[in-house]
Chains A and B, each alone.
Chain A
Amino acid sequence: MSARTTYLLLFLPALAMLALALYPFVQGVLTAFSDRKLYYDTSSFIGFQNFIALFADDEFHDSILRTLAFTAGVVFVQIPLGLGIALLLLRQSWIQPILRSTLVLPLLIPPVVAGLMWKTMMQPQSGIVNWLLSNVGIPPQTWLSHVDTALLSVILIDTWVFTPFAALILLAGLQSIPPELDEAARVDGAGALLVFRAIQLPWIVPFIVLVALFRVTDSLKSFELFYATTRGGPLNATRTMHIMAYEEAFRWSSVGKAMAVVFVLWLMSYFISMFLMTKWQRRSGVHHEYG
């Protein structure tokens, strides 16, 4: 096979894939600049009007803050928790294989199912969570049904579902530490805390950045858990940008405005991901130098 044929065989599928990815994206961006409503056949190009209206809307500002608060909550809870679990799993013990296989179970449950399951369990009057708490003298909590606790409750559910992901990646990072580093440190009399601070933690920084990269991008566009638990409520307490876009498109048929929200979300996701990617690549370089 000639080199030309090889390139052609690669080029054509690549072009098809690019077109399949780009066409909906470009179509979506164009829609963001239109007044398209699902129930009208026609739509007009209206420039930046959707964006101007959005940025003049306090509710949009609030939805950006909620999205960022959710993302920050998810990352700052799940990474330390995942790291703690990974360190426990690193220890050789008879229970370790059982723990490992149990750990991944939440990841195997679709987020919508997990959301519905937790919604039932967190039901303030009849849910099992409040019943369990009442047995140890803790008063019932409102969980998903009050503006003050709803976002925190979704973060907790997300943590239940996705902390195993963080733990698995970080465990892989910890296991990739060359044993001689650990042994040398211990021979020199270093305790577990010092080994963690001086060897394990610096070594797994790229893995932490990797987990952060995945969890940040996933959390910014998180939808299923919100859809299954609160749909943005109560009031607007969990109305993130993705939920706002969903309401605009599927409750009110304002596809133009919905795509404008999604476009802003995409920009945020893109720039934050790029920032984390740069960090990750820089930190990964350290490992390559060692290797």
Chain B
Amino acid sequence: MKLDHLQILKSGSWISAFAGAALLGASTAAVSQEFDWKQQEGSSVNVLLVSHQFVEALKPLVPEFEEMTGISVSLDVLAEQAAFEKLLADLSSQVGSVDVFMTSPLNNWQYATANWLEPLDEFIGDPALTHPDYDVGDFFQGVLNSNRWTRVPMQGIGEGPLWALPINSESYLMAYRPSVFKELGLEVPKTYDELLAIADKLDTGSAEFGLITRFDKYWDLPYLTFGTMLQSYGVEMIDADGNLQICSDASVQATDDFVTLIKTASPEGAGAFTWYEALQGFASGQYALSLNEADLFAPVYQDAEQSEVSDDVGYAPTPLGPDGTRKAGAWIWSMSMNAASKNKEAAWLFLSWVTSKDTMIATHLAGNMNPVRASAWENHEVAAMVNRWGETPGQYSDVTATMAEVAAVRFPPHPELTRMLDRWAQAVQEVYFNGSDTRTALCEAQDDVEKMFN
């Protein structure tokens, strides 16, 4: 098995965007006279969304679109798992009751295999359907192209048809409570060794518990958060020679260290924490440190109405691995069009409006992080908002820029990937809950994953 690795976030684009943020003005909302937004007046679009800050930011803007186009939009917002289940049922029935939906490259590897997705290149290239100011080149091309795939398992990511348009991107960082670290006289750890050394001290101050991170039995563990730790230990699911690395020495080491961290610094019950518990837990002020969690939780941490730590939160890059390496996972929320949609032109008008420069900026200002268009990072208001976050001005921006350099999807495109990663996560949980021998548990998972490729 040969892998194509995709560097999702082109660090150069991100860094230049940050540097230029204070200098460049907001993009203008010049509406071309020639473009006919009313061409699908009277039609309707059904949109399935996953409950997310992006959705809260988008909702108030939708009436503007309806007024501008005469298209009626129905938003169906569900919790993540329920949304994906409903989506699967709708897409597989090919009834087309959902026209546009939130998704990600990982999910789309399955949907594209099934011919459930409408390729978007032709819509983008059609001047009658796409506003001249749309500017697809404004997207970070690494992020945009993560939604391209040739549909050949194990290869072709970043090539072939465009199956979705990105709406935000997420990588991982440490969030910490400066007051707690100061009180304990501790430095924010720069390596996993340093973190392991202070893990048992984190709950000895005013924080009730040491650290929090998601630790459920699902794919997001090895794909995103613990995946960030694995990759910094040098573990990728498949190495350059095409061999599975789930039970490599480095993977065993990373798993042992991860379980030690959880057992030392997290409360009982940490083995059932989803991203939601991780977000709420740190925002509740009970924890000293949030390890390798989503950077886009920052708008919640910073919001005094939703967080107890809004005036006591700092951000730091994820720790370095044993040989000084830092790598991170990446998640890209995107929107796709159902191939069975009966209102494709209207659906495209909505999709292109949502992902347009102005709409994107408006959602970012209402908490949809992180921007995937250069113009959004260049916007004064977005830059000013983000620069306020952290222990010191610009801390969040600096940390996310650092993480953008090392964030990537380092997994093979395959329709069974979620099942494979679920099995991997199960092995990590076996080590934590059952005290299973780490190598045995991981190698059993690797054997099962090997069979799933066939």
- Chain B residues whose C-beta falls within 8 Å of the C-beta of A145 in the assembled complex: 268-273
Is the Cβ of B426 less than 8 Å from the Cβ of A235? yes
- Across the interface, B267 reaches (CB within 8 A) one of A39, A124, A143, A234, namely A124
Cβ-closest chain A residue relative to B81: A231
Q: Does chain B have a CB within 8 A of A147?
A: yes
Q: Does chain B have a CB within 8 A of A188?
A: no
A140 and B418 alpha carbons, distance in the complex (Å): 35
List which A240-282 residues lie within 8 A (CB) of chain B: 250-253
Is the Cβ of A250 less than 8 Å from the Cβ of B286? no
Cβ-closest chain A residue relative to B84: A250
Interface readout for A166-183 with B: 1 if CB under 8 Å, 0 if not? 000000000000000000
Known contacts A39-B110, A39-B113, A142-B268; decide if A250 and B430 are in contact (CB<8 Å): no
- Across the interface, A233 reaches (CB within 8 A) one of B268, B270, B272, B430, namely B272
Count of chain B residues near A, Cβ 8 A: 36
Is the Cβ of A235 less than 8 Å from the Cβ of B433? yes
Cβ-closest chain A residue relative to B416: A252
Q: Does chain B have a CB within 8 A of A5?
A: no
Q: Does chain A have a CB within 8 A of B99?
A: no
A122 and B419 alpha carbons, distance in the complex (Å): 29
Interface readout for B95-133 with A: 1 if CB under 8 Å, 0 if not? 000000000000000110111100000000000000000
A123 and B270 alpha carbons, distance in the complex (Å): 11
- Chain A residues whose C-beta falls within 8 Å of the C-beta of B433 in the assembled complex: 146-147, 234-235, 237
- Chain A residues whose C-beta falls within 8 Å of the C-beta of B268 in the assembled complex: 124, 140, 142, 145-146
Is the Cβ of B281 less than 8 Å from the Cβ of A235? no
- Across the interface, B419 reaches (CB within 8 A) one of A126, A142, A251, namely A251
Interface readout for A122-158 with B: 1 if CB under 8 Å, 0 if not? 0111100000000000001011111100000000000
A126 and B269 alpha carbons, distance in the complex (Å): 12
Is the Cβ of B418 less than 8 Å from the Cβ of A234? no
- Chain B residues whose C-beta falls within 8 Å of the C-beta of A144 in the assembled complex: 272
Q: Does chain A have a CB within 8 A of B422?
A: yes
Q: Does chain B have a CB within 8 A of A289?
A: no
Interface readout for B311-355 with A: 1 if CB under 8 Å, 0 if not? 000000000000000000000000000000000000000000000
A103 and B69 alpha carbons, distance in the complex (Å): 54
Is the Cβ of B434 less than 8 Å from the Cβ of A38? no
* A44 vs chain B, min Cβ distance (A): 15
Q: Does chain A have a CB within 8 A of B66?
A: no
Known contacts A124-B267, A147-B434; decide if A236 and B426 are in contact (CB<8 Å): yes
Q: Interface majority SS on B: helix, strand, loop or mixed?
A: helix
* B206 vs chain A, min Cβ distance (A): 16
A235 and B271 alpha carbons, distance in the complex (Å): 8
A144 and B426 alpha carbons, distance in the complex (Å): 17
Interface readout for A12-54 with B: 1 if CB under 8 Å, 0 if not? 0000000000000000000000000011110000000000000
- Chain B residues whose C-beta falls within 8 Å of the C-beta of A233 in the assembled complex: 216-217, 272, 429
Total A-B pairs in contact (CB under 8 Å)? 83
Q: Does chain A have a CB within 8 A of B275?
A: no
- Chain B residues whose C-beta falls within 8 Å of the C-beta of A78 in the assembled complex: none
- Chain B residues whose C-beta falls within 8 Å of the C-beta of A125 in the assembled complex: 208-209, 267, 269, 281, 286
Is the Cβ of A38 less than 8 Å from the Cβ of B85? no
A124 and B84 alpha carbons, distance in the complex (Å): 28
Q: Does chain B have a CB within 8 A of A230?
A: yes
* B427 vs chain A, min Cβ distance (A): 10
A234 and B277 alpha carbons, distance in the complex (Å): 14
Cβ-closest chain B residue relative to A250: B85
Is the Cβ of A39 less than 8 Å from the Cβ of B217? no
Find the residue from A39, A41, A230, A251 having the highest chain B CB count within 10 A: A39
A146 and B208 alpha carbons, distance in the complex (Å): 20
Interface readout for B411-454 with A: 1 if CB under 8 Å, 0 if not? 00001101100100010011001100000000000000000000
- Chain B residues whose C-beta falls within 8 Å of the C-beta of A38 in the assembled complex: 88, 92, 114
Q: Does chain A have a CB within 8 A of B74?
A: no
- Chain B residues whose C-beta falls within 8 Å of the C-beta of A143 in the assembled complex: 269
Is the Cβ of A124 less than 8 Å from the Cβ of B269? yes
- Chain B residues whose C-beta falls within 8 Å of the C-beta of A147 in the assembled complex: 271, 433-434
A145 and B84 alpha carbons, distance in the complex (Å): 24
Q: Does chain A have a CB within 8 A of B204?
A: no
- Chain A residues whose C-beta falls within 8 Å of the C-beta of B216 in the assembled complex: 233-234
Residues in B lying within 8 Å of A, measured CB to CB: 81, 84-85, 88-89, 92, 110-111, 113-116, 208-209, 216-217, 267-273, 281, 284, 286, 415-416, 418-419, 422, 426, 429-430, 433-434
Return 18 A-B CB contacts under 8 Å, by A number: A40-B113, A40-B114, A41-B115, A142-B269, A145-B268, A147-B271, A147-B433, A230-B272, A234-B217, A234-B271, A234-B272, A250-B88, A250-B89, A252-B416, A252-B422, A253-B88, A253-B92, A253-B110
Q: Which 4 A-B pairs rank lowest in CB-CB distance, beginning with the nearest? A: A145-B269, A39-B114, A145-B272, A124-B269
Query: Told that A40-B114, A125-B281, A142-B269 touch, could you supply 7 new A-B pairs with CB distance under 8 A?
Result: A39-B113, A125-B269, A140-B268, A142-B268, A144-B272, A235-B434, A253-B110
